[in-house]
Amino acid sequence: MRKHLHWAPGSTPVQAANTAYLLCPHNSCIIEDDAQGSVKAAMNEGGFMMVPGQTIDDAYAGRNVPENRTYSQWSSGLASPFVGWGERAERLVKAEMSGEEDNRQTAVDANFGEVYSPFLSSDMPVWQALLKHRSDYGPDLNVASAALLTHVAGLSPRLAEAIVAHRDATGAFAARQKLLKVSGLGAKAFEQAAGFLRIRGGKEPLDASSVHPEAYGVARRIVAACGRDLREIMGNGAALAGLRAEDFVDDTFGL
Which pLDDT tens digit goes with each residue over 168-206? Answer: 999 999 999 999 999 999 999 999 999 889 998 888 888
Of 207, 189, 186, the C-alpha closest to 149 is 189
Please tell me the predicted confidence (pLDDT) of residue 136. Answer: 57
- Three-state DSSP class for residue 196: helix
Domains of the chain with bracketed CATH: 2-116 (no CATH), 146-248 (1.10.150.310)
DSSP state of 75: E
Nearest Cα to Cα of residue 236 among 127, 136, 138: 136
Cα 228 → chain centroid: 30
Cβ 6 vs Cβ 83: under 8 Å: no
pLDDT digits (tens, 9 = 90+) for 93-119: 988 888 877 777 777 766 665 433 334
Q: What is the pLDDT of residues 130-159, one digit of tens each?
A: 445 455 568 899 999 998 899 888 899 999
Residue 64: what pLDDT?
52
Q: What are phi and psi of 20, to 5 degrees?
A: -65, 140
Mean pLDDT of all residues belonging to the chain = 74
| pLDDT given at position 205 | 86
DSSP-derived letter for residue 140 is B
Is the pLDDT at 120 greater than 70, yes or no? no
156 contacts: CB under 8 Å, gap ≥ 6:
101, 102, 105, 150
Confidence of residue 211 (pLDDT cuts 50, 70, 90): confident
5 SS3 class? strand
CA dist 6 and 31 (Å) reads 10
- pLDDT given at position 142: 92
pLDDT digits (tens, 9 = 90+) for 32-79: 777 666 777 777 666 655 544 555 554 444 445 555 554 444 445 566
pLDDT per position as a tens digit, 212-221: 888 888 888 8
Confidence band of 30 (pLDDT split at 50, 70, 90): confident
